[in-house]
Chain A
Amino acid sequence: MNKNYMVSLIAVITLFLIAYVGTQQGAGLQMVFGIIVPYLAIILFIVGFARRVMGWARSAVPFRITTTCGQQPSLPWFKQAKIDNPSCTLGVVARMFLEIVCFRSLFRNTRMKLKGGPHLTYQLELFLWIGALAFHYAFFTVVLRHLRFFTEPVPFFVTILENVDGFMRMEVLYDAVQQGLPGVYMSGLVLLAAALYLFLRRVMIPQVRYISLAADFFPLFLIMGIALSGIFMRYLSKVDIVAIKELTMGLVTFRPTIPEGISGLFFAHLFLVSVLLAYFPFSKLMHLGGIFLSPTRNMTGNTRQVRHVNPWNYPVKVHTYEEYEDDFREKMVEAGLPVVKMPEEQA
């Protein structure tokens, strides 16, 4: 038991229940959870995101602090690691692209171990990298796929994505449990499984548990809640998709409506998504924008070829050694100190 994740879990369950109960018949807060909250959330997301990034843009980057993960450019017979120690913009672009798309720095994750003796060994530890890749790509696919609710007509790439994502078929037809929607979207299930893995990893590994805060668990639970409610709606409890699309299309065309017959589960799902969007700019989730500005990755490692002057350096009045010697030459010669120019030459 750990208060960090218990608090987060309780928070997410409470949020879910607030929206679920608030939109039941009688409570009648559909207007709030279906129109007002989503609009506020998207405004908060965009404005908050832009402010955060512009704040980063304003902050000082005096010197290059690139991490060099390979041989720097040197004498011609040393092979330079062009991507891991880039000395030109093309190399930086390649490095950033691979970092953003393949998470290369997670791939380098190692684990220290004492292997039956005094020798410390390091071994590759790839599960975090695999989990993170599965999680992020599944989430990206899920987000893109949801464009079918926000566009009319649905663009071709969304349809293609749906067909690829949903090419598996599954039926569970027992009397007790019936899941009779054969087209299964893999991304939703992978998203849930990966989020669950990333959560268990934080709880099971003592060192990771020690550094995990409520701010790490809350988004994970939120995303698990979103995935679970989405999967539940699609495969088990069933909702009126056409009415839901009427609502979402109303939102994006600025003609908001609340059609009849939308279940509370959908409002709870939408509310969790709104909370995620609103929470995003104030949280660690800003690594979405932050990864592009990682100062250890997005600069060329050319500190030995180019002189980088701190941009706000003011001109410092200096007293060079030559001037110093001019001032004290006679005294230095008297004291027997070596001088560069002898006084006779000066005369």
Chain B
Amino acid sequence: MAEFIHQRDIYGKTLVELGKIIPELVVLDADLSTSTKTAMFAKEFPTRFFNFGVAEQNMMATAAGLASCGKIVFASSFAMFATGRAWEQIRNTIAYNNFNVKIVASHAGITVGPDGSSHQALEDICLMRAIPYMNIIIPCDGPQTKDAVETAAKTSGPFYIRLARCKVPTVENKPKFIFGKAQILREGKHAAIIACGIMVYEALQAADNLAKKGIKVRVINMHTISPLDKEAIITSAKQCSGIVVCEEHSNVGGLASAVQEVVTESYPVRIRQVNIKNKFGQSGEPDELLREYNLTSADIENAVSSFLT
């Protein structure tokens, strides 16, 4: 049984570790520091932490001002408010200036659960992917969150890192994390599953179930959405019967869209999508919602099977 960890706990701990070795590191939050776990940094480095209250737009534009003076700024909120409320501040004042602002948002996707639709960001990957210079990492589990945060701190330019609310299962035996390079977790040619975030674990379960039936499926953890590992996608398009893309996000503008952009231009193959079909979410327990919106390993198995009939 996999270990279940809160990605945001890892985020908080990693910030504290980085704070000790990077004096330029500054952390901002908008009244959610106990949820996003930036409170850990605030406790350790009170003079390098600023809480802006419920005011995400100000937080993002202030982050740009701090970055213009040489600071490496981490700014956190929930994915809905970080990317939605403050989109234009991110576009015009952070990304256009190519500033060192790292937006780390928790509570992304449908698994936010009982809080319901207003808090379930299903469009955030789309919103961030549309902005030039923006780097996007969606870690698949707790340990990979540390890789993502360290990469953002040490790589110049704006970043968006997407984290979940719930504890997520740890994916064992991953190859070394390389920013911008997809991780191949299972080999196979009957189909390729390209997944990100919590859907990576679902994809592995689907692949392992299919393997018992003699169906060999490649599983790719596309942890970096921008810049996208196009080579990994094109290779899979050439070698596999089809591609299934899995994301806890809308079918508009997210990972599935990104994969389709690459495939249609370079090597058209059939694609199935396991994601949310341009809908709003609703209240419910995370596992209920994953079932309701067809985001389970069984749904992934069905998508793969559709290539084989």
User: Does A pair with B?
Assistant: no
